[in-house]
Amino acid sequence: MDRTEANSGTRPVSDRLRFDEAALERWMSEHVRGFRGPIEVRQFKGGQSNPTYRIDSPAGAYVLRRKPPGRLLPGAHAVDREYRVIAALGTQGFPVARVYGLCEDESAIGTAFYVMDMVEGCIFWEAQLPGLSREDRSAAFDSMNATIARLHGFDPVEIGLGDYGKPAGFVERQVARWSKQYLADVDAGRIEAMDRLVAWLEKHLPPDSGRSSVVHGDFRCDNMIFDAAAPTVRAVLDWELSTLGDPVSDFTYHLLMYRMPKNLFGGLAGVELQPLGIPSEEAYVTAYCRRTGREHLPNKDYLVVFNLFRLAAILHGIRGRIARGTASSSHAIETANKLEPLAELAWTETQKARLD
């Protein structure tokens, strides 16, 4: 699957994900300052969890994110949490879309949703950032690094997110959460490598780091909009997995681009980086540590394994949604087919891990 072609742009709204557009127009007239109809609604191609739509109107373009219809796992698809974190970070000048309103009344269009600005720019679906010059690619990587470091520098209490999650015991809770979610989703079936990873992660669980910040949970290049005229991050997208937690775990997830091959989410493993202007993993880690006042990343190898497992568990959840008929992307099957290779890669990393 060509990830850029598969995920870029919009398409007509699928029959299963249609909603009452007139009801949305009425809601926006009441809650979005400066809005005026009529509206045209199209569905973004990308996205595996919360369906996302482009709303065009005479007043401008907007984006709607909603819970999918149908049977959902408890706690999943929390658009209210997405709205809250984006709103809080926006007041700090962090690069996110401006949000206009949250609707938790399911009678409006069938599920809870929120509306935000349509941020124009470029999304790269491969970590090589194709199409950029060597110099711009280097600058774009530096912008990503600076952006996640800035996120981890906010005091959650000071920006109104002190109760956004539990600050202590993050990794332990995350291992338990994703292990439980994997084991509970019987619709998706069991994977031998995943079963081995559940046991390995529990056995080698490190002590709590003692640090906590707002964490994005899915910080990848394809969850960012870059300025079309400059290699800088304009907006960070997809905050569904955000919470309070260990910033090193969040950054280590971002580092997975260096460990995964191109056929797994456009990774960089096996790519000659220097000619492309892409920093080495070591240099990228050093830049983050410098920006965040660290000397090193504690438990990095364990967290690489955990984050690969967590990503595999997310794909396992997509496979479950396919079985239940609630998958929002037309490319859900191709994405879910990466589950076994990703789980095997995670198990391979356990054999190389040097545990602190």
The pLDDT tens digits for 186-223 are 999 999 999 999 999 999 999 988 889 999 999 999 99
Confidence of residue 330 (pLDDT cuts 50, 70, 90): low
The answer to whether 328 touches 79, Cβ cutoff 8 Å, is no
Residue 43 in tokens: 């569905």
What's this model's pTM, rounded to 2 decimal places? 0.90
At 30 the pLDDT is 95
pLDDT tens string 108-131: 999 999 999 999 999 999 999 999
- Using CB atoms within 10 A of its CB, is residue 258 exposed (0-12), middle (13-18) or buried (19+)? buried
Q: Is the pLDDT of residue 297 over 90?
A: yes
Residue indicated by tokens 């015991």: 169
pLDDT tens string 3-19: 566 567 889 998 989 99
DSSP state of 206: P
Residue 77 in tokens: 């698809």
Angstrom distance (rounded) from CA 356 to CA 350: 13
Confidence of residue 277 (pLDDT cuts 50, 70, 90): very high
Of all residues in the chain, the percent with pLDDT exceeding 90 is 82
Q: Is the pLDDT of residue 74 over 60?
A: no
At 102 the pLDDT is 96
Least-confidence region, from 47-56, 173-182, 247-256: 47-56
Least-confidence region, from 50-54, 137-141, 289-293: 50-54
Domains along the chain with CATH numbers: 3-117 (3.30.200.20), 134-352 (3.90.1200.10)
